[in-house]
Structure 1
Amino acid sequence: MRTTSIGALGAIGLAMAIASGNAAAAPINWDYTVTSSFVTMPGSTAFTGGAGCQSVSGSAITWGACPTGPAGPGRSGIGISNNPQTGTLATNGAAESANTYTHSNNVVSGAFATLRSATISATLGLRAAGTADAYVYETATYKILFAETPNSAGTCVANSPVGNPCNDIWVLDGSLNKSITLAGDEYFFSFFASPALATLPNAVCAAAGAANGCIGFTTVEGQENAVNFLLKVTSTPLVVEVPEPASIALLGVGLVGLAGMRRRRQTKA
């Protein structure tokens, strides 16, 4: 077994980590508000490829065919909604809703530039639940890497619907275990996608320019892909134990063996 950051796992692993690693901590309830935006400073958003019209604002990034405007035929984009989002959460408790990111995944001509990377700024405000206390705010930034895959059916690096163009690829970096101090105590907050967040295969990571073991999700061509982001606040950084690949393989063999024994027993019966 080896210990690694939750950044190597999907949402299922995250839930397991909270259940095991933080079970002893007393829950503290908070009112929260979270607002996210794309950073519009020069260099915060990068495009790759040829011509076209790119548009960047705090709430949306679009690219592809001209003129600029909402995503549509020949033009794709990603936008933020449910922004700001408010609610109540408990330290070391269940994840709660943050903002929603929707990728309008349309066919974009290979002659046009496409999104390559962007930076997100997320501001979290917390106060004791049910009080009129002032919110304590902390802003974190994290990066997304994007790969616009070929717009024709064929061999896809990411799992994609049969007969459909290849799914596009999104990788998240730096969205976990940010620190915030409340009443003299340090807490950690993390944003992650659900249910689409997963550890991506190495080939998929490489296609987006990311290192092996990256986390992210893929989106289907020709669809409005809404990815809901969740928020957790914990008293310690999220850490989990990840089985080595050999251990996972042995577990699989063991399960197959158990299934065979069960079939034999049923046959004898």
Structure 2
Amino acid sequence: MKTNNFVKQLAIGLGLSAAMVGSASAATMITSFDYTQEFEWVEPINPDGVVKEGATSGVSDVDGFTKLSWGTPSSSLTSNPLQLPSSLVINPTDGDSSTPSNVLTSGSGADALFVSTDVNATTFALGPVVTHNNFVITGDSVKLQDTAAQDYVVLTPAGGGTDQIQEVTFGVEFTETTNNPDNEDACPAGVPFNGLGCGDIFALTSDLLNLATAQLFNGTTLAFLIDSFSVDGFTYDVYVAALGLGPLSEGACDAAGAGDNCIGFTTAEGESSSFQLEFAILATENIPEPATLGLLAASLLLMGLVRRRKVNGSLSA
């Protein structure tokens, strides 16, 4: 009889464990998120004299600017035909790279952020565009040295649910190189040179931008983990990538003071270049390990045996 009772207790424990696993596996994965993304330049912005303007329309979660500009335009119409200062612009207006549209980046429906379970079959949602206008300025002008960029993303589960908020701040190291139009060798290694001189260097800095822990998606897109959250038995890892950004040369990283293996881009003198943030979510179901199931079953069994001893002890008294 004692053996039969033991077997019954064990069967009950294992049955309850299996039921709990079945309940966990029955959880439904969120398949997509609608999103909004506010992205602006924020303090510290150095040095004094950099012009700060613009703000994203309709939201105020980030206290920043959509355009930074600096420098006195070269008086030469050949080198600076638009007679504009250099600038960094977020979401520029179509056809005018120097004017921010101030439009909030968002996606829903067919343009939502779709959840993937496979790094080789992942769709990225498009975020804000950042443009650097490298217009020729005078040598004694104010020159941007560094700033920060704050990214505030609100994810709303399709079909309803609690919003998930990701708030990330990136550092920006910027180098306005000395042009040296007659001396290509004066440019840092890996920085473009043309008839107007050396290009300029934009480098993002953040502990999150670690090449050693980056994830390769679809065999081509390098993305960085910025946040994780769990909902109803699934963990959702949020990754960011940037079309147009990549590892800079050692010379460019050194010139920007951004450390080894920095991430960024360079812009040739007299030209504009852009990058666009993009996001992906990779989901993993939280399934208990077999060892965990065994411990759970043993715990339930032990609880039953302790209870039986208490009952027997009470009767014998």
- When normalised by structure 1's length, the TM-score is 0.65
Q: RCO higher in 1 or 2 (8 Å CA, sep ≥ 6)? A: 1
Question: Which of 57, 68, 79 matches 1:61?
Answer: 68
The runs of 5 or more residues in structure 1 that have no matched partner are 1-25, 67-71, 237-269
Question: Which of 111, 115, 120 matches 1:91?
Answer: 115
Asked if structure 1 preserves the Cα contact closer than 8 Å seen for 2:86 and 2:137, the reply is yes
Cross-structure match for 1:116: 145
Measure how far apart 1:27 and its partner are.
Answer: 8.0
Rg larger in structure: 2
Asked if structure 2 preserves the Cα contact closer than 8 Å seen for 1:90 and 1:233, the reply is yes
Letter aligned with residue 190 of structure 1: Y
Cross-structure match for 1:78: 88
Aligned residue for 2:47, secondary structure, equals strand
**Structure 1 residues 139 and 177, CA gap change in structure 2 (3 angstroms):** same
**Structure 1 residues 132 and 38, CA gap change in structure 2 (3 angstroms):** same
Asked if structure 2 preserves the Cα contact closer than 8 Å seen for 1:197 and 1:217, the reply is yes
Asked if structure 2 preserves the Cα contact closer than 8 Å seen for 1:179 and 1:186, the reply is no
Measure how far apart 1:159 and its partner are.
Answer: 3.9
Asked if structure 2 preserves the Cα contact closer than 8 Å seen for 1:98 and 1:229, the reply is yes
**Aligned partners of 1:208 and 1:227: how far apart in 2?**
18
**Aligned partners of 1:89 and 1:27: how far apart in 2?**
11
Asked if structure 2 preserves the Cα contact closer than 8 Å seen for 1:202 and 1:213, the reply is yes
Asked if structure 2 preserves the Cα contact closer than 8 Å seen for 1:188 and 1:234, the reply is yes
The runs of 5 or more residues in structure 2 that have no matched partner are 1-28, 54-64, 74-81, 92-102, 117-121, 210-223, 285-317
Measure how far apart 1:235 and its partner are.
Answer: 4.2
**Aligned partners of 1:78 and 1:62: how far apart in 2?**
6
Q: How does 1:119-158 map onto structure 2 within 5 Å?
A: 119-129=148-158, 131-133=159-161, 135-153=163-181, 154-155=184-185, 156-157=187-188, 158=190
Question: Which of 199, 206, 229 matches 1:167?
Answer: 199
**Aligned partners of 2:193 and 2:104: how far apart in 1?**
31
Q: Which deviations, in whole Å up to 9, do the C-alpha atoms of 1:94-130 show, x marking residues without a partner? A: 222100011111112120121111111111111223x
Aligned residue for 1:206, secondary structure, equals helix
Measure how far apart 1:193 and its partner are.
Answer: 2.1
RMSD in angstroms over aligned alpha carbons? 2.6
- When normalised by structure 2's length, the TM-score is 0.56
Measure how far apart 1:191 and its partner are.
Answer: 3.0
Question: Which of 241, 244, 250 matches 1:192?
Answer: 241
Does 1:203 find its partner at 2:251?
yes
**Structure 1 residues 127 and 182, CA gap change in structure 2 (3 angstroms):** farther
Question: Which of 18, 34, 55 matches 1:31?
Answer: 34
Cross-structure match for 1:101: 130
Letter aligned with residue 88 of structure 1: A
Cross-structure match for 2:17: none
Asked if structure 2 preserves the Cα contact closer than 8 Å seen for 1:138 and 1:180, the reply is no
Measure how far apart 1:171 and its partner are.
Answer: 0.9
Asked if structure 2 preserves the Cα contact closer than 8 Å seen for 1:108 and 1:151, the reply is no
Asked if structure 1 preserves the Cα contact closer than 8 Å seen for 2:30 and 2:157, the reply is no
Percent sequence identity over aligned pairs: 23
Letter aligned with residue 77 of structure 1: S
Q: How many residues align?
A: 197
Measure how far apart 1:164 and its partner are.
Answer: 4.3
Measure how far apart 1:186 and its partner are.
Answer: 4.5
Letter aligned with residue 178 of structure 1: I
Cross-structure match for 2:45: 45
Question: Which of 250, 261, 264 matches 1:213?
Answer: 261
**Aligned partners of 1:217 and 1:27: how far apart in 2?**
35
Q: Which deviations, in whole Å up to 9, do the C-alpha atoms of 1:148-195 show, x marking residues without a partner? A: 11223322223425434222111112254222425265433333321x
